[in-house]
A and B are shown apart, each in its own frame.
Chain A
Amino acid sequence: MVSPLDRKLFRDLWRIKGQAVAIVLVIATGVMLQVMMSGLVASLTETRRAYYERNNLADVFAPVVRAPDAVLARLADIPGVARVTGRAVGRALIDIPGDPVPVQSQAVGLPDSGAQVLNTVFLTAGRLPAEHHRDEALLLSGFAAAHGYVIGDRIDVTMNGSRRSIRIVGLAQSPEFLFVAAPGEMVPDPARYGVIWMRRSALAAAFDMEGAFNEALLSISRGGSEAAVIDAVDRVLKPWGGTGAYGRSDLVSDRFVTEEIDGLATMSRAVPPLFIAVAAFLLYIVVNRIVQSEREEIGLLKAFGYTNREVGAHYVKLVLLIAGAGAALGCLLGVLAGRAMIPIYTTFYNFPFLVFRPDPTAFVIGVSASIAAASAGSVFVLRRIFALTPSEAMRPPAPADYSKTVTFAGPVGRRLDQPTRIVLRGLARSPWRAMALSAGIAGGMALASGMTTIYGSFDRMMDISFSVIDRSDATVFFHTPLGEKAAFELARIPGVIAVEPFREVAATLKFGRREYRGSVSGMIADPEMTRAIDDRYAAIPLPARGLVLGEALAEILAVAPGDILTIEVTEGRQPVLEVPVTRVASTLIGAPAYMQMAALNGVMSEPGRISGARLRVDEARADEVYRHLKDMPTVAGVSVSENARASLQKLMDQGAGSARYIMGAVAFIITFGIVYNAARIAQNERSRDLASLRVMGFSKGETAFVLLGELAIITLVALPVGSLVGYALTFAIARGFSSELYQIPAYFDPFSHGFSAAFIIVAAVVSGLLVERDLNRMDLVTVLKSRD
Chain B
Amino acid sequence: MVHALRGVDLDIPEGEIVVLLGASGSGKSTLLNILGGLDRPTSGTARFRDADLGAMTDAGLTRFRRDHVGFVFQFYNLMPSLTARENVELVTEIAENPMPPERALDLVGLTKRLDHFPSQLSGGEQQRVAIARAIAKQPDVLFCDEPTGALDSATGRAVLEVLNDVNAELGATVLMVTHAANIADMAHRVIRLVDGQIGQVQVNEARLKPAEIEW
A residues whose Cβ falls under 8 Å from a Cβ of B: 396, 398-403, 405, 417-419, 421-422, 425-426, 429, 688-689, 691-700, 702, 780-781, 784-788
Contacts and interface: CB of A to CB of B under 8 A. Distances in A.
A702 B58 CA distance: 14
A700 B58 CA distance: 9
Contacts of A694: 62
Nearest to B36: A695
B38 A781 contact: yes
A451 B140 CA distance: 59
A429 B65 CA distance: 31
User: 7 tightest A-B contacts by CB?
Assistant: A697-B66, A399-B118, A425-B81, A697-B65, A399-B80, A401-B119, A418-B90
B93 A429 contact: no
19 contacts: A396-B75, A399-B80, A399-B117, A400-B119, A418-B93, A421-B82, A421-B86, A425-B82, A688-B77, A691-B77, A692-B77, A692-B78, A696-B91, A696-B133, A697-B65, A698-B66, A781-B38, A785-B29, A785-B145
Given A695-B38, A695-B71, A697-B91, 20 more contacts: A396-B75, A398-B119, A399-B78, A399-B126, A400-B119, A402-B81, A402-B119, A405-B81, A418-B89, A418-B93, A422-B79, A429-B81, A689-B80, A696-B91, A700-B62, A781-B29, A781-B145, A784-B73, A785-B145, A787-B75
B132 to A, nearest CB: 13
B67 A697 contact: yes
- Most chain B CB inside 10 Å of its own CB: which residue of A401, A402, A688, A694: A402
Nearest to B145: A785
B62 A698 contact: yes
Interface string B54-73: 00001100111111010101
A629 B145 CA distance: 96
A781 B77 CA distance: 11
Contacts of B86: 418, 421
Given A697-B67, A784-B77, A403 B120 contact: yes
Interface string B143-183: 00100001000000000000000000000000000000000
B79 A689 contact: yes
Interface of B: 29, 33, 36, 38-39, 58-59, 62-67, 69, 71, 73-75, 77-82, 86-87, 89-91, 93-94, 116-120, 126, 133, 145, 150
Contacts of A689: 79-81
Contacts of B66: 696-698
A695 B65 contact: yes
Contacts of B74: 785
A422 B86 CA distance: 10
Nearest to A702: B94
A787 B73 CA distance: 11
Nearest to A691: B77
Nearest to A407: B115
A427 B86 CA distance: 17
B85 to A, nearest CB: 10
B81 A422 contact: yes
A695 B94 CA distance: 13
A691 B65 CA distance: 13
Contacts of B117: 399, 401-403
A788 B150 CA distance: 14
Contact of B38 (A401, A402, A421, A780): A780
Contact of A399 (B62, B65, B93, B119): B119
A699 B61 CA distance: 10
B93 A417 contact: yes
A599 B117 CA distance: 85
B75 A422 contact: no
Contact of B71 (A396, A400, A422, A696): A696
Nearest to A424: B81
B119 A696 contact: no
A422 B29 CA distance: 29
Contacts of A396: 75, 150
A697 B77 contact: no
B69 A697 contact: yes
A530 to B, nearest CB: 67
A71 B80 CA distance: 93
B82 A418 contact: yes
Given A402-B119, A695-B38, A699-B59, A784 B75 contact: yes
Among B71, B78, B87, B126, which residue has the most Cβ atoms of chain A within 10 A?
A: B71
Nearest to A787: B75
A422 B82 contact: yes
Contacts of B77: 688, 691-692, 695, 784
B62 A692 contact: no
B73 A785 contact: yes
Contacts of A419: 90
Contacts of A421: 81-82, 86
A305 B123 CA distance: 30
A247 B39 CA distance: 82
B75 A785 contact: yes
Contacts of B93: 417-418
Given A697-B65, A697-B66, A692 B59 contact: no
A694 B94 CA distance: 12
Contacts of B73: 784-785
A396 B62 CA distance: 29
Nearest to A696: B91
A399 B74 CA distance: 14
Contacts of A695: 36, 38, 65, 71, 77
A430 to B, nearest CB: 11
A101 B58 CA distance: 74
A698 B94 CA distance: 8
B20 to A, nearest CB: 14
Contacts of A405: 81
Contacts of A422: 79, 81-82
B96 to A, nearest CB: 11
A781 B93 CA distance: 23
A398 B118 CA distance: 9
Contacts of A781: 29, 33, 38-39, 145
A494 B10 CA distance: 105
B80 to A, nearest CB: 4
A289 to B, nearest CB: 16
B82 A696 contact: no
A418 B91 CA distance: 9
A702 B119 CA distance: 25
B14 to A, nearest CB: 20
B103 to A, nearest CB: 18
A641 B64 CA distance: 75
Nearest to A699: B62
Contacts of A788: 75
Nearest to B76: A399
Contacts of A398: 119
Contacts of B39: 781
Given A396-B150, A399-B117, A403-B120, A692 B63 contact: no
Contacts of B38: 695, 780-781
B89 A697 contact: no
A401 B81 CA distance: 8
A439 to B, nearest CB: 23
A689 B133 CA distance: 14
Residue from B33, B65, B79 whose CB has the most chain A CB atoms within 10 Å:
B79
A697 B94 contact: yes
B39 to A, nearest CB: 8
Q: Tell me which of B81, B82, B86, B118 has the highest count of chain A C-beta atoms within 10 A of its own C-beta.
A: B81
Contacts of A785: 29, 73-75, 145
B89 A400 contact: no
Nearest to A689: B79
A606 B116 CA distance: 95
A282 B82 CA distance: 28
Given A399-B126, A697-B69, A698-B62, A426 B81 contact: yes
Nearest to A403: B117
Interface centre among A417, A426, A693, A784 (most CB of B within 10 A): A784
A786 B75 CA distance: 8
